[in-house]
Amino acid sequence: MEKLYEGKAKIVYKTEEPDKVVIYFKDEATAFNAQKKDIIEGKGILNNKISSIFFNLLEKNGIPTHFIKQLSDREMLAYKTTIIPVEVVVRNLATGSIVKRLGITEKTPFNPPLIEFYLKNDQLGDPIICYEHILALGLATEEDIKKIKELAFKVNQVLKDFLKNIDIILVDFKLEFGKKDDESIVVADEISPDTCRFWDAKSGERMDKDRFRLNLGDLSKYYEEVLRRLEGEKS
């Protein structure tokens, strides 16, 4: 297959159908805008399976995504989209960068959930931006932003409710959105422990990429546990 794009965690391949692509999940782990890197064997398989479960869940709840189906352990079939260069972060509890930026106490709840926008640009370090920046830079229209916010909050509610049943707290997560050929906006990229913060509801253990960021170890073990719980709840 012809490669269309390769990022830090995935490769996108062309298919015989112009509106569809194959997404291949790699084993690379990166943090701090790829300043920290490693290979975690099997991580791509886990993220593909976890993302497929989450995308199916969103579709069942009326949230449009680029996902079509899981093809193999490492590959999914998806609609080709033009990615909107804005990363959308939804926060339910304070942790990570917002604690350092604003001096907020760790675990402070946000009610209602907080939404933040970041410019998708590795060279600039994905800086935080505001609504007016998005409009001024022509990254998206007012209507686009309204739709993105609406979908992001819906995703948050669906995931929170689902994960609560398997004793996982959805702390925060990053979403990317794309436009299909018909200009409709859909949730794209992936939804996995690489892009979400999951805490065990009983122990408080981190079950996400913070284990890599913070040198906590056992990343694969916790990703496998997330998948095990998801598959149990799905069945």
Same domain, 49 and 136: no
* DSSP classification of residue 190: -
Does residue 61 surpass a pLDDT of 80?
A: yes
Same domain, 42 and 100: no
Question: Domain holding 16: CATH number?
Answer: 3.30.200.20
Q: Which residue, 184, 172, 132, 163, is CA-closest to 19?
A: 184
- Specify the pTM: 0.95
* Segment 189-230, tens digit of pLDDT: 999 999 999 999 999 999 999 999 999 999 999 999 999 999
Does residue 107 surpass a pLDDT of 90?
A: yes
Helix/strand/coil (H/E/C) assignment for every residue in 145-186: HHHHHHHHHHHHHHHHHHHHCCCEEEEEEEEEEEECCCCCEE
Instruction: For residues 204 and 214, give the distance between their C-alpha atoms in angstroms, rounded to a whole number.
Output: 15
**Three-state DSSP class for residue 198:** strand
Question: Domain holding 170: CATH number?
Answer: 3.30.470.20
* Segment 121-160, tens digit of pLDDT: 989 999 999 999 999 999 999 999 999 999 999 999 999 9
Last residue of some domain: 31, 54, 79?
Answer: 79
* Residue 32 pLDDT: 79
Could you tell me which residue, 140 or 33, shows the higher pLDDT? Answer: 140
Q: Which long-range contacts (CB under 8 A, 24 or more apart) does 215-218 make?
A: none
**Three-state DSSP class for residue 101:** helix
Same domain, 35 and 55: yes
Residue 88 lies in domain: 82-218
Query: Which residues does residue 10 pair with via DSSP β-bridges, in sequence order?
Result: 25
Residue 226: exposed, middle, or buried by beta-carbon count in 10 A (0-12, 13-18, 19+)?
buried
Does residue 235 surpass a pLDDT of 60?
A: no
Query: Which residues does residue 115 pair with via DSSP β-bridges, in sequence order?
Result: 90
In a domain? residue 16:
yes
Q: Which residue, 146, 155, 150, 185, is CA-closest to 173?
A: 155
Same domain, 70 and 108: no
* Residue 153 pLDDT: 98
Same domain, 91 and 196: yes
Query: Which residues does residue 78 pair with via DSSP β-bridges, in sequence order?
Result: 21, 67
Same domain, 117 and 37: no
**Three-state DSSP class for residue 6:** strand
Count how many domains the chain has.
2
Does residue 12 surpass a pLDDT of 60?
A: yes
Amino acid at residue number 189: D
In a domain? residue 233:
no
DSSP letters for 31-43: ETTTTEEEE-TTH
* 112 cis-preceded (ω within 30 degrees of 0): yes
* DSSP classification of residue 226: H
In a domain? residue 230:
no
